[in-house]
Structure 1
């Protein structure tokens, strides 16, 4: 399944634990527009994407390449060939249907939540540090 602009925006926002209203207010965007973007009903303008990327402290090219592939896809870093690898999506790993274990003991939900928060922080932090 191909990632869309809406799914990327939703993933970032939820990873930060923010509501649509909070992000919309912070970026001077209407909640209705943001909802349409996340539901892939409309595509945000390049200016809006840059504003969101600045707020999220991430590289705008990652989102711009999804929204405007003809214009920005070539600027995005080359993708790693995953055809011969076992791919585990972080989202799936931390879903309610997945059980995490350590030394053959099932982790409590509270520890799984900590793993999720830590992982989200690593991902967001690594995205921000590649820009510097």
Structure 2
């Protein structure tokens, strides 16, 4: 896997119009180290990445995810969802406080609605656990 942190450090630095020496001095690193990072010869330490993210005003997770993807890159834990048919009703909408439910022509009480929501959630969660 290519070292993506080097290209991103170069892109940020150039977009700010700064030299390697300027950034190195401001972040208390050596120009030689910074050059190696940008040229993807070495990867900066986590501490250096945090200093750079602070200096560049970038979320540390963004740069850490590029430098150390196995440790910091966001994990896509949810599989791609199958699109719901156009006539589908979202369960979240059914149990929303703004939605009134009725059964046999009578409005369902808020307490019964919460019980219904808990019941449906339990069914959905048990099905998810069976898949894991």
CA RMSD, aligned part only? Answer: 2.2
CA distance in 2, matches of 1:77, 1:10: 27
Contact 2:64/2:72 (CA < 8 Å) preserved in 1? yes
How many aligned residue pairs are there?
A: 77
Contact 2:46/2:64 (CA < 8 Å) preserved in 1? yes
**Runs of 5+ unmatched residues, structure 2:** 78-132
**Runs of 5+ unmatched residues, structure 1:** 79-132
Deviates more, 1:65-74 or 1:17-26: 65-74
CA distance in 1, matches of 2:76, 2:24: 28
TM-score (norm 1): 0.54
CA distance in 2, matches of 1:54, 1:15: 16
Contact 2:3/2:43 (CA < 8 Å) preserved in 1? no
Shift of 1:60: 1.1
Larger-Rg structure: 2
Structure 1 residue 26 corresponds to structure 2 residue 26? yes
CA distance in 2, matches of 1:69, 1:3: 10
